[in-house]
Structure formats: C-alpha cells, structure tokens
Amino acid sequence: MRTILAFNGSPRKKENTSTLLQSALDGAASVGAKTRLVHLYSLNYKGCISCYQCKRISGKSLGKCAVKDDLSPIFEAVEQADAVLFGSPIYFGNITGEMRSFLERLLYPHHVYDKNRTSLFKKRISTGFIYTMAVTEDRMNELHYQQNLQGMESFIDHILGDIRIMNACDMLHTDDYSIMEASAFDIEAKQRRHEEIFPLERQKAFELGKSLVA
Ligand SMILES: Cc1cc2nc3c(=O)[nH]c(=O)nc-3n(C[C@H](O)[C@H](O)[C@H](O)COP(=O)(O)O)c2cc1C
C-alpha cells in the first residue's frame, strides 16, 4: 500500500489550506493509499540551528537532523513515505515561517556540497505543494509570488523528488469580513467565488492527491 503524508503550514486546522490538503488526501485514499495529515503548528520545533552534525563525514548523524524534537518521528515517516504534499498559506508573499523552518530541517541534512549537489535521501518520491492566498491570479503574477517560491520548490524537487504545484488564489481570509476594514477587496465577488470556485479547487486537489500516489 502506498503512503502519502501531507503537512499543513497554516495555524488554522480547518480553513483553506487544510481543506485542500484533506481533499488531496481523499483523492489519494480513493486509489487505495494510506494517508496522514500533520498540522505543523501542533508540533514543537524550531528551524535549523546550523550545528552541521548532518554534514560530518563518518559522523553518526550524517544525512540526518541531529536535533531531537517533535520532528524526529516525522523525518522517519517521510523516509517511509511514497509521496509528500506540503500546503501553506502565503504570508507576505511567501510560505509561513513554520513551513520554512520545517523544510530547512527536512531538506538540509540530505543536501551534499559535492560538485553534483548529491541528495542523501534514499529514493525519489512524488512531492507536491499547495499554496493558498488571498490575491487573485493576476495579482499573484504581478507580485512575482512564483519567483519567490521557486527556490524552495527546486530544493524539494532536487532532494526528494519531482514536484507538482497547485496555486489556490482569491481565497477568503475569514467568513466574517464585518470584523475588519477590507475595502481593498470586493468582498461580495470573493464570497461568490468561494461558493462557485472553491469546490472546483477541492476537486483539483483531489486529482493532485490521486496523481501523487499513482
Ligand atoms: C499574516 C498574514 C499574511 C498574509 N499575507 C498574504 C499575502 O502576502 N498575499 C496573499 O495573497 N494573502 C496573504 N494572506 C492571506 C492568506 O494567505 C490566505 O487567506 C490563506 O488562504 C489562509 O490560509 P488558511 O485559511 O489555511 O489559514 C495573509 C494572511 C495572514 C494571516
């Protein structure tokens, strides 16, 4: 049985990002995969502390993160998985701090500074990234979000395995805009879009999940 892990980089456990990740996992489950959703904000960890134990030649932590915390069992689970899917809201044009700290710890131990930038990750697995954001697709392009995100995507692709991307734009910040100044947005259009388009985004995520374990 194939296994897929999804990592939610949003502090919210039932909103845009986790909903789409869950749809992707439902897609993977529909073709028989074992699935698990991990909420990063529920775990206790920090980003890489530059100890370089993971780089020490013949050291006991070569290729592994030497820091022991809530991520240690997660790294073992990733090594057993056939696919991993990351999900993050866009905060100030990039992934959330927790997602970035997680990726530093997950990826860096496998990254070798030889001429080929060899990956110590033992196999190639399928990977995916779902981004959710409030801006429209046009605005996402104007603001060059894709360029901001490309660096980390290429490390995931190189170290773990081929990456597929899904951008979910024009998401609602909240279901109650009456609490905030929001004249920058056309709220009615946003709410209408949420009713009409979000189910299609869920379907797209469902298909992505299926394809990651195919
Ligand atoms: C701190 C913060 C910063 C944000 N910055 C952006 C941004 O730069 N661009 C954008 O499109 N949306 C931004 N948003 C909106 C979220 O990306 C969007 O609502 C996302 O879908 C929330 O995901 P969630 O529902 O899973 O928490 C921001 C939201 C927060 C809370």
Q: Convert the pLDDT of each residue in 98-157 to its tens digit.
A: 999 999 999 999 999 999 999 999 999 999 999 999 999 999 999 999 999 999 999 999
pLDDT of residue 112: 97
Nearest alpha carbon, ligand 1 atom 28: 91
pLDDT of residue 183: 94
Q: Among 6-10, 49-53, 184-188, name the one with the lowest average pLDDT.
A: 184-188
DSSP 8-state assignment for residue 11: S
Distance 99 CA to ligand 1 centre (A): 13
Give me the torsion for CA of 154, 117, 107, 142, rounded to 10°. Answer: -20
Average pLDDT value for the chain: 97
pLDDT of residue 132: 98
pLDDT of residue 161: 98
Distance 100 CA to ligand 1 centre (A): 15
Nearest alpha carbon, ligand 1 atom 6: 91
Nearest alpha carbon, ligand 1 atom 2: 91
Nearest alpha carbon, ligand 1 atom 1: 91
CATH number of the domain enclosing 163: 3.40.50.360
- Could you tell me the pLDDT band of residue 33, with boundaries at 50, 70 and 90? very high
Tell me how far apart the alpha carbons of residues 40 and 38 are, in angstroms, rounded to a whole number: 6
- Could you tell me the pLDDT band of residue 210, with boundaries at 50, 70 and 90? very high
Which numbered atom of ligand 1 lies nearest the CA of 169? 11
- Could you tell me the pLDDT band of residue 172, with boundaries at 50, 70 and 90? very high
Tally of domains within the chain: 1
pTM above 0.75, yes or no: yes
Mutate to test the pocket of ligand 1, among 98, 145, 149, 171 (most ligand atoms within 8 A of CB): 171
pLDDT of residue 135: 95
pLDDT of residue 86: 99
- CB-defined site of ligand 1, < 6 Å: 10, 12, 15-18, 89-93, 132-135, 171, 173
Q: What integer is the mean pLDDT of 7-36? A: 98
H helices within the chain, ranges in order? 16-30, 71-80, 97-107, 137-142, 145-159, 187-212
Which numbered atom of ligand 1 lies nearest the CA of 140? 11
Question: Which domain range does residue 147 map to?
Answer: 3-212
